[in-house]
Structure 1
Amino acid sequence: MLLDLWERYRRYVLFAGAILFVGSSVWLYQADRGNGRSELPLETPAFAKAPLPNTKNAGKEEAAIPAEAPITKNTEPPAAPLYVDVKGQVKQPGMYRFDAGMRVADAITKAGGTLPEADLEQINLAQPLSDGSAIVVPTKGTIATTVPGQQAISTLASGVSPGSSSNQGGMESSINVNTASAEELTTLPGIGQARARAILQYRADKGGFRTVDELKEIEGIGDKMFERIKDRIRIR
């Protein structure tokens, strides 16, 4: 009878046993896993919290940080202003304030420019200004002279040159155009370096001046210019 029952219900018994085996195995695995987790520390170790260094971008980050530039202080004091009295043949004479390094031409411009009668041939427009000086723009037909407190802006010489003679008053008199040097010729009103060289060239080509009127043959010396210098020149 038992054998018959076994033969009839054998498959069911084996199937139930297999299910029971699998279920118990799963339960034991889960129990062992739970016990293993309870033994682990509850807090993460400090070394695990620290971020790992990024060795790939370390050099780039250091290079991106600019080095502090050295701080330099400019201890040089600013240049003092210049005060110059501009007068003579200018439109707006008066005392003006200038920056260091400015020139005579800047002073004349600041004074409104020159009047029609101004003689700029006697003035060195490129000369630097000096504090406390006076600039007097001369009139055509007069000789620019330097007085105390006036800036020397003229090309005129204050002394007597070897090629000139003196009158009883000690003032500059006539210049021998047949023996004078280029430097001496530039002491004449309106005669600059270019005209002085032209006079020397004419003198060399013609063998000297026979009359003072021959100066009119030189380019740049017309009747007006000749009238200004005729009383100061001679041929012997």
Structure 2
Amino acid sequence: MAGLQRRLRGDPAGEPSDDDDGDDEISVPSWIPDGRADRGASWLAAIRADPGRSGGIALAVIAVVAVLITVFALMRDEPPPVVSAKLPPVEMVSSAAARPGPDPNQPVVVSVVGLVTKPGLVTLAPDARIADAVSAAGGALNGADTLGLNLARHLTDGEQIVVGIGTPAGQPTALGSSVSGAPPAASDRPAAPGKGAPSDPVNLNTATVEQLDALPGVGPVTAAAIVAWRDTNGKYTSVDQLGEVDGIGPARLEKLRPLVRV
């Protein structure tokens, strides 16, 4: 300290003395706090500064917002729910019901074969009868069986008329006349007998070939044979006599038993 004072006063000596070295090295007592340690503690305190109540609320709000954003992002990543499409009900329509029936005002086309002058297809008026078809085919030839045909019956489109051979009494059974073909689905004209069971049993002694041909399991040849047996042997007295007709065996007889009578 003495050397510093001398410099300030302009001491010409200007040289420091040994006393000056002693004055510069002044020991610091231990009870005085070190300034450098205080500076380090202040820096640590600044780092660990308490945000206070308002700062804590702000941090809590930021955390809640972050959670909400995370939840919203996760919800958007989920696939959308699948909703089943409600289809309109489909009405089932029968194809048979949708098919229109033949027009009753249209002409009918039938096939006439057998003992006629011009066998083949003939086109007739809607209300034509079997007699008209035979006439359109040139008429029946000599020896033709016209008794087995109901000449007054109305025709339906697509039928076939077979003009067979007449069988004199006492002669072997020959092919008789018949009419075959399905009746229309709906028509104002009387429908031809189908192959279903008749509502009433058929009388074997008065039935025509056409009526017998309509029975299930009986074709035109068998129907003609039934009539020929009746013409040859007289009236049937029992249904069992059908077993004597050519083409009717025990199995067919049992099927026909509930469908015919005498």
Q: Normalising by structure 1, what TM-score?
A: 0.34
Q: Normalising by structure 2, what TM-score?
A: 0.31
